[in-house]
Structure 1
Amino acid sequence: SAIDHCVQPWNGRRKRLLVADMDSTIISCECLDELADFAGVKAQVSAITERAMRGELEFEGALRERVAMLKGLPVTDLQLAYDQRVRLNPGARTFVRTMAASGARCLLVSGGFTFFTSRVAVAAGFHEDRANTLGEADGALTGTVGEPILGREAKLAALAGEARALGLDLAQTLAIGDGANDLAMIEAAGLGVAYRAKPIVAAQADAKVDHADLTALLYFQGYAQADFVTD
C-alpha cells in the first residue's frame, strides 16, 4: 500500500510554529465553491478556483472575479454553507491540538474568508486565524472582498512575521497547503508540506501527504502516538 515519507535531520524536527492553509487542507472543501453552489454559479466558480490553485491565474484577480458572482447572496447562507458543507479533514484536530499542547504557535492563514476561518480555527484548535473579508450590506453579499487581499505574499509574510515575533528561525516552522498561493510559505518554512496538492506545489515542497491523514505531520516531527491529543 502507498505510504508518505519525509527524510529530514533528527534534531529540530519538532516545529515551534505552524502556519496552515484552510480550504482543501484543514477542511475538505473550498468554501467559496460551496457558497457559489448556494448562489447557483458553482460550475463557473469552481473552474476558476481550480485554475487559480494550479497557478494558472493570478490569485487576487481570480478571487475578485469569483466573489463578484456571489453578489446578492443572503448572508444567512454563509452559516448554512458552514453547517452543511464544512468538515475538518481526518486528523486535523489531533494534528493542531497536539502541536499546540507541546508549545507550538498555530496559525490558520487562508485566502478564503474570516467567516469560515474563525469557526474552523476554534474547531481545530488554532491560536489565531487570518483571511479575507466579504463585503455585505442589507443582509446580502455585495460581491466585493476587502482590500488588500490576503494571497500568496500575505501568507509568506504571516509565516515570516509570526516567526520573527516569536524569535524563531524559519527552520523551526512548518507550513502546509495545497494550492499555488501556498507555495511561497511552503518554500520558506523549515518543513514545507504539500497536502493532496496541485502538481506545481507538490513539486516544490519538502514533503508530501498524498495518502495518510494529517497526523502524518506529527509522525514527521517525531511525535509518538502516545503524545497525540485526541479528546
Structure 2
Amino acid sequence: LASDNGIVINTDDIQGGSNLGDLRYQDSDTTSIFHNQQLRALADFADSVLTYGKVLEQAGAVINYAMLDTIFSKVNRAFLDTIGTVMETRDTISYKPLRIRATKKLAENAEFLKRDYTIPPRQPGIALSGGGIPEAFAMEQNYPNPFNPVTMIEFSLPEDAFLTLTIYNVLGQEVMQVLENEEYGAGFEQIELDASKFSSGVYFYRVKAIGLENGKTFTAVKKMVVMK
C-alpha cells in the first residue's frame, strides 16, 4: 500500500512494473494458487482472510492466515534495511504529502519475486497546480492499515472546503463522527484517527467535502482494519 499510494518511492527504478505490488511471487510449488500472483493480489487474499475469517476458499484451494504470513515475512526480509544508514541523501522526500525513499531498488528483489515489465510504470502522487495545490479532491487509503490503535487519513483539497469524516462498521452503523462540517484550507491535510475504543474488525470511513468556492461536493469511502 505504501508503494502503490506513493508513500514509499523507488526514485531510481522507474522502468516499468515499478511498484512493489507489481512483483510476481514465484512459489517453489508451481501448482500453488500463490504461484506467479502479483503481491497486490496476495495482499487482497490477506484482506479477505482478515475480513471474513481465518480460512478462505479460492479456486478450489484453501487459504489461511499462516500461509500468507509466511509469504509476506519472506517479502519483508527481502527488502529489510535501515533507512538512516543506507541512504546518502535524505530518506524523507516530503512531509505533506508523506513521501519516503525506499531502502532498496525493486531491481534488487529476491529470486522468489519476478518483475513484470509488461506493466506500465505507475506514477504515484497527485497532480499539482503551479502553486503546489492539488488539482482535484482526493482521499488516500489510511496508513498504516491494519492498525492499532492510531492511523492517519490524508485528504487533498483543491480549494477551501467543509469536511465531514464519519466511521461506520460493517453493518453500516455510524460508530464515530471524526469531523462535522469543519473548514479546511486548500492543500494537503492529515487527520489522526484514534481507534482505541474500537473492537477489532473491519470499518469504513467516508469523507464528504463541500468546496467553498463553487459548492462542488466530493464523497469517497474506503475500508480499514483495526487489529488488536
What TM-score results when the alignment is normalised by the length of structure 2?
A: 0.25
Could you say which structure has the larger radius of gyration?
Answer: 2
- The one of the two structures with greater contact order (alpha-carbon pairs below 8 A, sep at least 6) is 1
Q: Structure 1 or 2: larger strand share?
A: 2
What TM-score results when the alignment is normalised by the length of structure 1?
A: 0.25
Q: Structure 1 or 2: larger helix share?
A: 1
